[in-house]
């Protein structure tokens, strides 16, 4: 059975607190949604603002294959704004619960029904396709819901959508709830929110209950805890509804190009600046990442041991992470990928050094692993930068000032700078010295007193990046400024290795 997808990333998704997409960004997302086979795109709420209307107009002017809708309240003026934007359809939202009618709209059930019928007739008279979304349906009596759906279908509504606006269904309730509207002669959509983390499960149950369409957003963004994540629903429909492993076809199909889902997710999170949790199913950075030895070993032998689908199916990629839980097979595999051949005893030594770092709560990047391996294999790289002299002037009535003399491949460089404190001044002076040949960014800086007292040994750990290379470096000294500069120089040298 074919299930159609209405994407509301640009309407309900944009209602995520803090997300605002300009017309160009909306168009880029809409174009991608169209390209991957989304059937209907809710491009925004035309009533919202001039900018929103500009964005919707830009999208409707492209001749995309997908149906383009705008949200509309049950008000003629909202429909007029939708018409101005030249959309194909309206997502006409009619609040139906007693709570919404009494407190929000101050209307009776019959007044709301009459308004809904009038607005549907107006929209239809003006050539729009109407999807009638009953807001807060899951806190509305079924009898009234069926009455308002029947009346608006008689007035011309083309599709209906009972909405679980507050995400209060459970999968079993969703199955039984949505089933009650599948005999009304028009396609039914599910619209499930994620307040209890059940939006995807409830959407799947609604589909099992007989709906032929669902609303969702890329990455599950949306009001409060968000909406059903399209990528999760679509991949579940594709994968979890086969009678047995050998079945090529699932019980449900969609028009979505599944291998584009990771790219689409990335585009939406980048343009909306909405952080994506690494453990997000299907598209999160850890969805196909393995660190623990037992899993990595299994995946190297046969990826199906610990992956329910291949990353390639959704256009993602598999990653093996080196950290506290790594096993020797995973480590050996990564070292080989980095072009490093090690003997068994060397592998064990690297293994224990990685475990030691893991026990200290550190992650191990590729550059870290290369440095550990080079140390174990006795491959000493010539250090590009060496510290010759460091002078600090600091006190309660003076701007902290540092001068630094470094040796860069036998050239002497002297620089000075000021800073918020003496460490900042020293690093600023150092950065001035190296800026012509190293583009370094300080990502993190940690200081720890290894022993107690003011004469304690100080451990400084810095995380530095250059392009897409990231490393951690450390130094331990009695003097915090020297420790900071030594750790920084060590990190820069390692980032410059193999460049
Ligand atoms: C469940 C959902 O996702 S609903 C969609 C939510 N989306 C939005 O809110 C879109 C962005 N909103 C906006 O830009 C503004 O709220 C506007 C332009 C739509 C309206 O702004 P204002 O006129 O200042 O009204 P305000 O937002 O303060 O209040 C909402 C009004 O809409 C009414 N209303 C809410 N839903 C509906 C509806 N479906 N049909 C008719 N009226 C509605 C409310 O009763 C209230 O009317 P009142 O002023 O007579 O009390
Ligand atoms: C219409 C809608 O977005 C809702 O009821 O959640």
412 pLDDT above the threshold of 60: yes
Residue 403 CA to ligand 1 center (angstroms) comes to 61
Instruction: Tell me what pLDDT residue 498 has.
Output: 57
In sequence order, which residues have a C-beta less than 8 Å from that of residue 348 and are 6 or more positions away?
A: 328
Please tell me what DSSP assigns to residue 204.
H
The reply to whether ligand 1 has any atom less than 6 angstroms from the CB of 53 is: no
In sequence order, which residues have a C-beta less than 8 Å from that of residue 464 and are 6 or more positions away?
A: 440, 441, 442, 443, 470, 471, 472, 473, 488, 491, 492, 495
What is the phi/psi pair of residue 461, to 5°?
-120, 125
Span 420-436, pLDDT tens digits:
999 999 999 999 999 98
Residue 191 CA to ligand 2 center (angstroms) comes to 7
Span 30-83, pLDDT tens digits:
999 999 999 999 999 999 999 999 999 999 999 999 999 999 999 999 999 999
**Higher pLDDT among residues 371 and 29, named by residue:** 29
Instruction: Tell me what pLDDT residue 182 has.
Output: 98
Instruction: Tell me what pLDDT residue 103 has.
Output: 98
- Measure the CA–CA gap between 341 and 373, rounded to whole angstroms: 10
| CA dihedral sign, ordered 436, 439, 443, 445 | negative
268 pLDDT above the threshold of 90: yes
- Residue ranges and CATH numbers for the domains of the chain are 4-272 (3.20.20.70), 289-377 (1.10.238), 385-498 (3.30.160.270)
In sequence order, which residues have a C-beta less than 8 Å from that of residue 405 and are 6 or more positions away?
A: 387, 388, 389, 390, 412, 413, 414
Instruction: Tell me what pLDDT residue 88 has.
Output: 98
Q: To test ligand 1's pocket by mutation, which of 8, 70, 71, 93 has the most ligand atoms within 8 angstroms of CB?
A: 93
| CA dihedral sign, ordered 22, 24, 27, 32 | negative
pLDDT, mean of residues 93-109:
98
Instruction: Tell me what pLDDT residue 243 has.
Output: 79
Residue identified by tokens 């174009």 is 31
Atom of ligand 1 nearest to the CA of 74: 40
Q: Which two tokens stand for residue 426?
A: 């020293």
Atom of ligand 2 nearest to the CA of 91: 1
Structure ipTM over 0.95, yes or no: yes
Please tell me what DSSP assigns to residue 241.
T
- Measure the CA–CA gap between 450 and 412, rounded to whole angstroms: 33
Atom of ligand 2 nearest to the CA of 137: 5
pLDDT, mean of residues 211-219:
98
- Measure the CA–CA gap between 74 and 453, rounded to whole angstroms: 70
Residue 135 CA to ligand 2 center (angstroms) comes to 5
107 pLDDT above the threshold of 60: yes
3-state secondary structure of 278: coil
Instruction: Tell me what pLDDT residue 451 has.
Output: 62
3-state secondary structure of 217: strand
Residue 95 CA to ligand 2 center (angstroms) comes to 9
The sheet carrying 441-449 orders its strands as: 441-449, 458-466, 469-477
Helices 366-376 and 344-359 cross at an angle (nearest 10°) of 130
Instruction: Tell me what pLDDT residue 60 has.
Output: 98
Q: How confident is the model at residue 123 (pLDDT cuts 50, 70, 90)?
A: very high
Instruction: Tell me what pLDDT residue 286 has.
Output: 96
Straight-line distance from the first to the last Cα atom of the chain, in angstroms, rounded to the nearest whole number: 54
The reply to whether ligand 1 has any atom less than 6 angstroms from the CB of 45 is: yes
Instruction: Tell me what pLDDT residue 383 has.
Output: 83
Q: How confident is the model at residue 164 (pLDDT cuts 50, 70, 90)?
A: very high
Nearest CA among 407, 397, 404, 443 for reference residue 423: 404
410-444 b/e (C-beta count within 10 Å ≥ 16 → b): eeebebebebeebbbbbbbbbbbbbeeebebeeee
**Distances from the Cα of 454 to the Cαs of 267, 357, 393, 479, in angstroms?**
50, 26, 20, 10
pLDDT, mean of residues 394-407:
95
- Biggest CA–CA distance in the chain, Å, is 88
Instruction: Tell me what pLDDT residue 204 has.
Output: 98
Q: Which two tokens stand for residue 232?
A: 């999760």
Instruction: Tell me what pLDDT residue 450 has.
Output: 65
Pocket residues for ligand 2 (CB within 6 Å)?
Answer: 12, 93, 133, 135, 163, 165, 191, 193
Residue pair 273/22 in contact by the 8 Å Cβ criterion: no
491 pLDDT above the threshold of 80: yes
Nearest CA among 285, 161, 140 for reference residue 216: 161
In sequence order, which residues have a C-beta less than 8 Å from that of residue 361 and are 6 or more positions away?
A: none
- Measure the CA–CA gap between 471 and 440, rounded to whole angstroms: 11
Q: How confident is the model at residue 339 (pLDDT cuts 50, 70, 90)?
A: confident
Q: How confident is the model at residue 380 (pLDDT cuts 50, 70, 90)?
A: low
| Residues facing 441 on adjacent strands | 465
pTM of the model: 0.82
Nearest CA among 386, 408, 390, 410 for reference residue 400: 390
Instruction: Tell me what pLDDT residue 33 has.
Output: 98
pLDDT, mean of residues 76-104:
98
Span 304-333, pLDDT tens digits:
999 999 999 999 999 999 999 999 999 999
Q: To test ligand 2's pocket by mutation, which of 45, 133, 203, 215 has the most ligand atoms within 8 angstroms of CB?
A: 133
Residue 387 CA to ligand 1 center (angstroms) comes to 64
What is the phi/psi pair of residue 40, to 5°?
-135, 135
Please tell me what DSSP assigns to residue 451.
S
Instruction: Tell me what pLDDT residue 452 has.
Output: 65
Q: What is the mean pLDDT of the chain?
A: 94
């Amino acid at each position: 059975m074919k299930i159609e997808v209405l994407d509301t990333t640009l309407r309900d998704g944009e209602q995520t607190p803090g997300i605002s997409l300009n017309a160009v960004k909306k168009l880029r997302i809409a174009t991608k949604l169209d390209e991957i086979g989304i059937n209907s795109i809710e491009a925004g709420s035309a009533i919202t603002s001039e900018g929103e209307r500009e964005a919707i107009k830009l999208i409707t002017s492209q001749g995309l294959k997908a149906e383009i809708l705008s949200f509309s309240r049950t008000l003629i003026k909202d429909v007029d704004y939708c018409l101005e934007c030249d959309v194909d359809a309206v997502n006409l939202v009619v609040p139906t619960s007693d709570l919404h009618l009494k407190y929000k709209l101050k209307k009776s059930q019959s007044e709301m029904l009459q308004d809904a019928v009038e607005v549907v007739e107006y929209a239809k008279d003006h050539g729009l396709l109407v999807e009638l979304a009953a807001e807060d349906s899951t806190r509305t009596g079924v009898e009234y819901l069926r009455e308002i759906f029947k009346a608006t279908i008689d007035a011309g509504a083309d599709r209906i959508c009972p909405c679980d606006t507050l995400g209060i269904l459970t999968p079993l309730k969703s199955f039984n709830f949505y089933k009650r509207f599948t005999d009304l002669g028009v396609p039914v959509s599910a619209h499930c929110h994620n307040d209890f983390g059940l939006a995807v499960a409830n959407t799947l149950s609604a589909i099992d209950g007989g709906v032929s369409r669902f609303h969702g957003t890329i990455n599950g963004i949306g009001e409060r805890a968000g909406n059903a994540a399209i990528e999760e629903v679509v991949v579940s429909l594709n994968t979890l509804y086969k009678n047995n492993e050998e079945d090529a076809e699932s019980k449900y199909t969609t028009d979505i190009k599944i291998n584009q889902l990771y790219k689409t997710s990335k585009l939406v999170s980048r343009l909306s600046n909405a952080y994506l949790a690494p453990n997000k199913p299907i598209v999160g950075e850890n969805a196909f990442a393995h660190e623990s030895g037992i899993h990595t070993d299994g995946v190297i032998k046969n990826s199906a041991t610990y992956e329910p689908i291949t990353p390639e199916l959704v256009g993602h990629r598999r990653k093996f992470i080196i950290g506290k839980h790594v096993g020797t097979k995973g480590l050996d595999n990564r070292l080989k990928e980095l072009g490093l051949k090690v003997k068994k005893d060397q592998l064990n030594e690297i293994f224990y050094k990685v475990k030691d770092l893991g026990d200290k709560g550190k992650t191990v990047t590729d550059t870290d692993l290369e440095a550990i391996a080079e140390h174990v294999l006795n491959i000493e790289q010539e250090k590009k930068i060496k510290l010759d002299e460091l002078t600090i002037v600091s006190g309660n009535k003076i701007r902290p000032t540092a001068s630094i003399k470094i040796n860069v491949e036998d050239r002497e460089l002297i620089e000075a700078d000021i800073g918020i404190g003496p460490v900042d001044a020293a690093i600023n002076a150092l950065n001035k010295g190296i800026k012509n040949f190293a583009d370094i960014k300080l990502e993190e800086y940690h200081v720890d007193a290894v022993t107690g007292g003011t004469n304690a040994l100080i451990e400084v750990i810095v995380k530095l990046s250059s392009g897409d290379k990231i490393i951690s470096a450390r130094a331990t000294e009695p003097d915090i400024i020297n420790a900071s500069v030594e750790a920084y120089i060590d990190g820069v040298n390692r980032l410059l290795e193999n460049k």
